[in-house]
Amino acid sequence: MYIKYFLTAIAAALIAIVPIAAVNAEPPEVEINTVSSDQEERLPLRELRLFTQVFDQIRRGYVEEVTDTDLLENAIAGLLLELDPHSVYLNQTDYEELQENATGEYGGLGLQVASERGMIKVISPIDDSPAAKAGIEAGDFIVEVDGTPVRGMTVQKAIDKLRGEKGTSIKLTVFREGEKAPLDISVIRDTIQVSSVRSRIIEPGYGYVRVSQFQVGSGKDFKKELLSLKEKEPALKGLIIDLRNNPGGLVPASVEMVDAVLDGGTVVYTEGRLPSANISFDAKSGDLLQGTPIVVLINGGSASASEIVAGALQDHQRAAIIGTQSFGKGSVQTVIPLGDGRAVKLTTARYFTPNGRSIQAEGIVPDIIVEPAEIRLYKKRKQVREADLDGHLEQADGEKKKAQNPDKEDITDDNQLYEALNVLKGFQLLRKRVSGEPETQN
């Protein structure tokens, strides 16, 4: 209602004060409403007149001509500019990019590229992508796109040229080592789905899941990766969830992720001015990992939905949080489409962890703080051991002990991940000692 009054007042003031040329159609009839004293406070006419004066000065005196449409669009953007850092006006391009990031889908070829010596180099084609099916290989250099040279072009500009609507064709001229001449390869663009979740076994018994952002399918992909890890390691001893430098994304995806490893309980709740902004998100019963110890890695780049996951698992004592204090974005943004390809992203609520903690401008404090550091092993002089002495006794069973964990991954270049694995091993050791199970060396 107030927006209607605001726009009506702006239109009336503009017509009255700002001379608008080339207006052929007659202005529409405007219904005059009685404005209450409360509404008068919300519609300061003095500032509206000031707005129209500034509008007129800009459109008449600015060094370059600016259209009325651009000025009004800038004014709309300005309405949100000073509210908070996350409330913004989205033009058509911005809105399309936001939707693309949220879904992880785009129309393109399915290539990972980088700039090398002023040329666009293919790092790798995504499996089963149009590029892979057309024969593009890792190490190829793209020299032309539809006949246009790309040498010296920025990576982002090259990516923009490679992307396009599903079903459209594009011709790439590539240079491949071992070939006498450049190759011309035609590719039909398709919808490319990029997952933000990946996993691996970093050491027998211990899994690792990296989540780079929270997209529409991130929760489902997380469950899929957990099941994959359990298939590889039926007796999974521990899991590391890496949320470092994850800027966040969609709240439902973070809730679904927590739901996968939490056996019921509140995940997060939000509070705002509108009734629709007051919501509680709960996990259903059933833990896919059945209590397997979890460590969550966070840092100053972990924000929003990442902090929802870390805060929920910390409050429910389901995981140990390791790393450094998170970013501290405890607000929820609602994207409001405007019906013409544009939208407004507006902060509508604050969110709270299950224990009622607001992390706004505070962040999640890890249970164990581990600053990024370099792990450097000291070079040791060879020491004489019992096994080096002549005539030493052999082991009682007469067999030499085999090397432990031949498949162990070297993660010493990432001290936070290294410490997270050590914590998981500590959980495993303590559990065995408490339960009386026989201990095995890792």
Q: Which residues are catalytic?
A: 304, 315, 329
Euclidean distance between CA atoms 216 and 197, whole angstroms: 12
Residue 277 phi, psi dihedral angles, 5° rounding: -90, -5
Euclidean distance between CA atoms 363 and 355, whole angstroms: 14
Euclidean distance between CA atoms 186 and 203, whole angstroms: 42
Euclidean distance between CA atoms 249 and 305, whole angstroms: 6
Euclidean distance between CA atoms 79 and 89, whole angstroms: 9
Euclidean distance between CA atoms 170 and 176, whole angstroms: 18
Beta strands 265-272 and 343-352 are antiparallel
Yes or no: say if 228 and 199 are a contact pair by the CB < 8 Å rule: yes
Instruction: Please name which of 326, 331, 313, 328 lies closest in space to residue 271, comparing C-alpha atoms.
Output: 331
Q: Can you read off the two tokens belonging to residue 82?
A: 């000073």
Q: Can you read off the two tokens belonging to residue 325?
A: 């204090």
Euclidean distance between CA atoms 280 and 274, whole angstroms: 14
Yes or no: say if 214 and 248 are a contact pair by the CB < 8 Å rule: yes
Euclidean distance between CA atoms 269 and 238, whole angstroms: 28
Yes or no: say if 289 and 239 are a contact pair by the CB < 8 Å rule: yes
Strands (E), 64-129: 88-90, 105-108, 111-116, 119-125
Yes or no: say if 281 and 269 are a contact pair by the CB < 8 Å rule: yes
Euclidean distance between CA atoms 283 and 266, whole angstroms: 6
Yes or no: say if 300 and 371 are a contact pair by the CB < 8 Å rule: no
How many Å separate Cα 265 from the centre of its chain?
Answer: 25
Yes or no: say if 2 and 10 are a contact pair by the CB < 8 Å rule: no
Strands (E), 249-363: 265-272, 279-283, 294-298, 320-323, 331-337, 343-352
Which residue has 């870390």 as its token pair? 310
Which residue has 């239109």 as its token pair? 11
